[in-house]
Amino acid sequence: MLIHKNPQLICQQINDDYFVCVNPLTKNGIKVISVTQKKILDLFETNIDTEEIAKMTGYEEEQIKKFATILSDKNIVNFSWKFEHDRREKEPAKLDIRIHTTDKCNLRCTYCYIQTKETNKDMDMETQDVLLENIRETVRSHNLKRVRLRFSWWEPTLVIDKRAEKLSVLQEDLKKMGCKLVVSLLTNGTLLDDKKIDLIKEKKRSIGISLDGIWEYQDKNRAYVHGKGSFDDIKGNIDNALKKWLRPGIMTVVSNENLDGLPALTEYLVSQNLHFRYSFIQGKENLDQQKTIEVMEKCYDILGNAIENGYSFSQYHKLCDLKFLQPYMKTCWSGLSGGWIYIDWWVFFCHTQFGQEGKEIGNIHNEKDLLAMVSRHNEQDESLSEECKTCEHHYVCTGWCPLEREWGKDPHCEIYKRLIPKVYTLLGKERLYNILLQEKNVLAKDISEIAQNIDFWSNTKIVPICSKDMLQKIQQQDLGMDYRAKIASQEGFWSMLEGLAFDKDRIRTQVFALVKEEIPIGIVSFVILPKIHIKNQQYFQKGQDGIKKIPAQEAYGWELPDFSIVVGWTKMIDNYRGKFVMQRLSLLEKILEKLKKEAPENTRIEIQAEGQMKSNKNDDSYISYDQLSLDKDMIGKNSKDSSSTVKFAKYLWLKQLDDIFGSRSLGPVFFQKIR
């Protein structure tokens, strides 16, 4: 049997042991394979049949066929040589409109290409009403399932308050038609005050902020009208948004002016878990291409190191608007299902054409069907060179912007050719990291399967927290997190993303969210402490005149265990506190059963319920009852919120320690020695 290798396949070496292979013509067409498997894959293009390949490699022929079958799922190989060469979307399935709401702006960016920026005009309400009605008509005519509106250029936060309620009405109207409305706001971030943050959160809008660098790298490109730099204000507003659980995306224009500051910006964005996009300057400036490649490779090295600490590279970073795991006709939707609407009702292929006579492609007062208007002005292939059409990366960059091409290709072509393989390598590294993590930690994988097999109902399910995106959703719901659960590995702790294991050196945690219709409503966590950390735990013991701090060994009265299994932070949001009780009980019980079965000798279970004292920050080894902000009789009593924790401990027949309490809130402590 002959196996055929896809001639469009792109393979990049991740490290000494693994490759990533990508079929750019298939959605999510990515596989990580070993060096040995790569050698077999290369033999598939030599017209050698599977029987001979088996003899050459020492594998059984059936093993070779099985490997080929796995790869054929992504059309990396097939058995007939009939490869599907184009799965790109040719018919518009959505409407993507960008709306220029105002010509007012409080910044004067050096590279701004909006030619109407000095007119100081806003889109009037009549034009907005006509536009929103045309959107309804377009959805109705084409039975669209998704509409995306992006409010941008110049500074849309100047007029955000005027648009909010009418957009909410539009959203409800489209929902009745079976269409989802997604609204985003692209802003310079200088005017993002508490009122606007609250409004954006209330309406569930997304927001993108322009940030070109740290300190001077932002200030010299993006200054106020009178010359003052904008970094301090923007950084403060981003910090404030994060505190209020609004997480903006960051848009960075890469130019010669900010190249040197990109590595530091990358480190900042990674540390804050912010989604970000790096785009290359267009029009006015010729980038230093060699330096850009060198600096961008440094940035990708930073991202590569972050992947090793659980960073979700594929979710957080974009290079321009390139689609790496989804073949498209073009990277920009203009001319296919998208266009730009200026403040005075004229429609353009691109916002760079605002103010240019004769570049209008329609008028929303004269034509209601927006999709028909924008899609008949497709300028995609008219200026595309043969070199672009035959390039191995054509299905990723698609020749980029047709308005910016020189001699039929993007002026940044050489940059893309160097960076696209780098991105593929990091996508492969991320996949490899997750694969090896699962293989290495069988216990964590088994526990995840147990949790996800608990039968919840009403569109509710258990989801392991295995990404920073899910962690952010938890934080937005104010569900809290066990203090031992760390998002990134650090001294004494493995990342919570790596899951539970009986590790003699570090604390291991695993956290699950109870999710209803994609919104977290509850959380439960498990912790395994090794002896090296158990011995550092402290408790309080009740005495005649006060409480004294004692070490773990004295609290338990025997030799310290090698491991302690702890049911950590468990919480439901208020609306669901009394619901799913039996399912939650089953979840805790089954996971503990698995942990007890896998636990080594000399392991115990411990459950600490939250006490009446919310936070004990007293470092004294002895505290008299007079010094406590708590009545003596309330010591050792659980709080109302942790009554279910106490019931669960008693259900498992755990023993309560007499006159010994948790050091954080003076709550009761329960334990059971396993073996």
Residue 413 lies in a domain: no
Report yes or no on whether pTM surpasses 0.75: no
Same domain, 478 and 622: yes
Residue 455 lies in a domain: yes
Structure tokens at 525: 């966590």
Lowest mean pLDDT among 49-63, 102-116, 241-255, 283-297: 102-116
Last residue of a domain, one of 18, 50, 78: 78
Same domain, 65 and 110: no
Look at the chain and report how many structural domains it folds into: 3
97 and 338 in contact (C-beta within 8 Å)? yes
Structure tokens at 161: 């308050």
Q: Token pair 């299905």 is at which residue? A: 395
Residue 465 lies in a domain: yes
Q: Token pair 């184009």 is at which residue? A: 86
Phi-psi group of 391: left, alpha or beta (phi > 0 → left; psi -120 to 50 → alpha; rest → beta): beta
> Does pLDDT of 329 surpass 70?
no
pLDDT per position as a tens digit, 151-193: 874 445 544 555 678 888 999 999 999 999 999 988 999 988 8
pLDDT per position as a tens digit, 100-112: 888 888 888 888 8
Same domain, 612 and 567: yes
284 Cβ neighbours under 8 A, 6+ residues apart: 111, 113
Q: What is the 3-state secondary structure (H, E, C) of 74-137?
A: CCCEECCCCCCCCCCCCCCCCEEEEEECECCCCEEECCCCCCCCCCCCECCHHHHHHHHHHHHH
511 and 560 in contact (C-beta within 8 Å)? no
Residue 480 lies in a domain: yes
Adjacent-strand bridge partners of 546: 624
Same domain, 490 and 591: yes
Last residue of a domain, one of 28, 45, 78: 78
Please report the pLDDT score of residue 253 as a whole number: 95
Domain of 72 in residue numbering reads as: 4-78
Same domain, 656 and 564: yes
DSSP 376: T
| Strands across the sheet containing 95-100 | 317-319, 276-280, 249-254, 206-210, 180-187, 146-152, 95-100, 338-341, 346-348, 360-363
Same domain, 563 and 661: yes
598 and 502 in contact (C-beta within 8 Å)? yes
Residue 49 lies in a domain: yes
Residue 593 lies in a domain: yes
Q: What is the 3-state secondary structure (H, E, C) of 378-433?
A: CCCCCCCCHHHHHCCCHHHHCCCCCCCCECCECCCHHHHHHHHHHHHHHHHHHHHH
Same domain, 70 and 110: no
Strand 249-254, strand 276-280: pairing: parallel
Residue 257 lies in a domain: no
Same domain, 614 and 494: yes
Last residue of a domain, one of 48, 78, 108: 78
pLDDT per position as a tens digit, 466-518: 666 677 677 667 677 788 887 767 778 877 878 899 988 889 999 888 888 77
Structure tokens at 206: 């997304």
Q: Token pair 């330096």 is at which residue? A: 291
pLDDT per position as a tens digit, 269-317: 998 889 999 999 986 568 999 999 999 999 999 999 998 877 889 888 9
Q: Kindly report the CATH number assigned to the domain that includes residue 545.
A: 3.40.630.30
Please report the pLDDT score of residue 154 as a whole number: 44
Same domain, 102 and 153: yes
> Does pLDDT of 636 surpass 50?
yes
> Does pLDDT of 361 surpass 70?
yes
> Does pLDDT of 593 surpass 80?
yes
Strand 360-363, strand 346-348: pairing: antiparallel
Same domain, 74 and 100: no
| Selection from 46-55, 389-398, 489-498 with the highest mean pLDDT | 46-55
Residue 281 lies in a domain: no
**Three-state secondary structure call for residue 478:** coil
Same domain, 57 and 106: no
Residue 483: closest CA among 505, 511, 504, 464: 511
Same domain, 68 and 143: no
Strand 546-551, strand 508-516: pairing: unpaired
